[in-house]
Structure 1
Amino acid sequence: MSLVSGDGAPHTFIVDVDKDGVIPNPTCSIDKCSPQFSTSTPYPFAVDFGPGTFTYYCSIHLTMMVGAFIVSDFGVSSSPSSLTIPQGSNANSTVSIMSLNNYAGAVTLSATPPTSWPPPFFGVNPVPISSGMTSTSKLTIYVPPGTSQGPYSVTVTASDSFISHSTNVAVNVPAPSFTVSASPATLTINSGSSGTSTITVAGSYGFSGTVSLSATVPSGSATTMLSSASVMLSATATSATSMLTVSSALGMFSVTVTATSGSTAPSTLVAVNGPDFSIKTSPSTVSLSQGSSAMLAITLSSVNGFSGAVALLAFPSIGGPPVTVSPTNLQVPSSGSVSATLTVIASSSGAYSTPISPGSYTITLNATMGSLSHTETIPLTVTSPSSGVGILASPIVIGGIVAAIAVVAGTVYVLRHRPKTKT
């Protein structure tokens, strides 16, 4: 800006930049001073301070020659200010130029990308700015192929003849990668049948290369086969598929499909519901008193066409009453169910059994066929017999009483029928 003296005398004009109202000497360490010029010469100032309203003074007439002026400016910003751009791709950010203090003019944009990147492109450049308004220009940033993974920055500068401002656009270049998925993710396979799932490998962030596929299952669970042991991905072929076939399945398990390329090896799971059997006990809990017994029904049912011989084994927890299962082997039909009986005896006393103390126990029931195994845990409670009733109800106690009565009766009989001795 410039000021012109009207009194015909040379002056030095001072701008109060720090707005403290103190008039400095002409050295002007903080405030801005014009050079001293001869009469009727414009007094130039370098406006290198921020926008706002400022007061200026005359060095000769400090109180008489006072005025104010407004410094206009513009601001620059970008949205979004952060971009994720895979190598070989581009993305856009909108650069906004805002008029401050009624700034009006044309602003030129430039961008400084990382070394080896091509210059970014602006949709509008220069950008015309009207007073009090905001104008925009679309910025396009291109990341060339082969760019290493990592964070980068592009500096955007907006300037006119006197003012220059800048903003940064952060650019994240992700590593090329790929994912693997299965559809459907769950297979239900009946006895003698097979199931299929489509395995899809999808590249991301510019991945290109060969991906190997493998399928694993728990030992003895099933046989698996992939229609393609490897697939090829590129910039144009970003996805590929292989068909997974599962046969000879037995029980419920998961197939793990792994896709491998270099050190990258994502995986996906395919849940398989194969031929199996279920186990159920009735009742599901047992409560009995000392000296009594209880029986439970064990039911094995076919699932998904299962058939085969299942072995049963039951045992109590430590200190618990003995248990027996009959029969110990059941042939489960392909449709339907079969039953067995589990017997629990809680002895209270006796010469040939260990008394079972009242308390809480468990019965563990195992049903097994080959690699298939199911376990049921049955809660068991043993209580003390009720006064009098429980004792009489005990088979062991009753047996003892009967034996005692028999001994007494035999003794009386012998005494009555022995021959009399003559005296």
Structure 2
Amino acid sequence: MRIIATGLSLFLLLIGMIFAVPSAAHMVIAANTADFTMSAQPNSLTIPQGSSGSSIIFLTSVNGFQGNVSLTPPVSCLAIGCPSYTINPTRVELVANGSGKAVFTIYTYPQTPLNTYNVAVSGTSGSLSHTASVTYTVVAPQGGPDYSISANPNRLNIPAGTTGKSTITLTSLNSFSGTVNLYTSPSPLCPSPQCSTWSIDPTSVNLSPDGSATATLSIFGGTQGGYGNVTVYGNSGSLSHSVIVSFKITQPPDFTITISPSSQTVRKGSITTFSINVTGTNGFNNTVDLSTTISPVTRHGPTTSLPSTVGPYSTSTLTVSTMRGTQLGTYTITVTATSSSLTHTFTVTVTVTS
């Protein structure tokens, strides 16, 4: 019996060693595999029934991972009062050993059951998948210490290439006092100045009992135009509130100039004409000064005449005159239109024949 027991022990030991070696090798490979991590801050929230709360989802590259991570919020149930969830943005691009973030928002309703909920945001990139868990408790609305957050204005029209501002006001309620940390929904990934970007300053404020404090949301209007929403979040412990500022990028007043036809042929000693059209855009309503240059410059070369000033919505005539001594060939005429700091040009050609 002793020999049988010893043989069985050796057999089990060998089996364990055989299966342990690949596992150890796998762990070494996994430790050096490019990957990413996810975490939530805060990962625990208390949300009054009918209110919303938010948590920042932080993503970090590990071992040189780089690529896009797709984020998915929890699935909401369909019953009346079920909480709903959003994640913004739904995709975060990580550079090697870099980090990114997204805003996870939980919405409750007056019918939401008072309970504690455990949910998770999922992140996927290829075959890699991770989650960040958030626990939140829905409590009955009550008049305890709290604060409110508002924006003035909450809608901005911003000329492209300029910055619009909104004042974010935080007000203590029921003798609330403490520090409120401020952050915004992420700006687009595309570069400035093409895309709009924004920031909040300062990133935290201190509220005294029944007092108030302000911060400034600055939105730079990207040159490509468009519109969007910026959510400003305030967090203090388990209290979380937010406000949305909408913006629209407007293009500055300008004008266009076109000349037709683009080329003419004229016998030397004769004249020809072109039609100049000036059209204002985006509310432009100023006069436009016109001038011309001719290339090449030759003796007895063509001469031009046109109005020196035209209106913002006008049609005028460019006249080109030649003499009997004008050299044959093609001449380039550049018409320059100027109004204050705005300048546009248009080029036509005239071919002089015998």
Max Rg structure: 1
Higher relative contact order (CA 8 A, sep 6+): 2
TM-score above 0.5, yes or no: no
TM range (shorter): 0.3 to 0.5
TM value normalised by structure 2:
0.39
TM value normalised by structure 1:
0.33
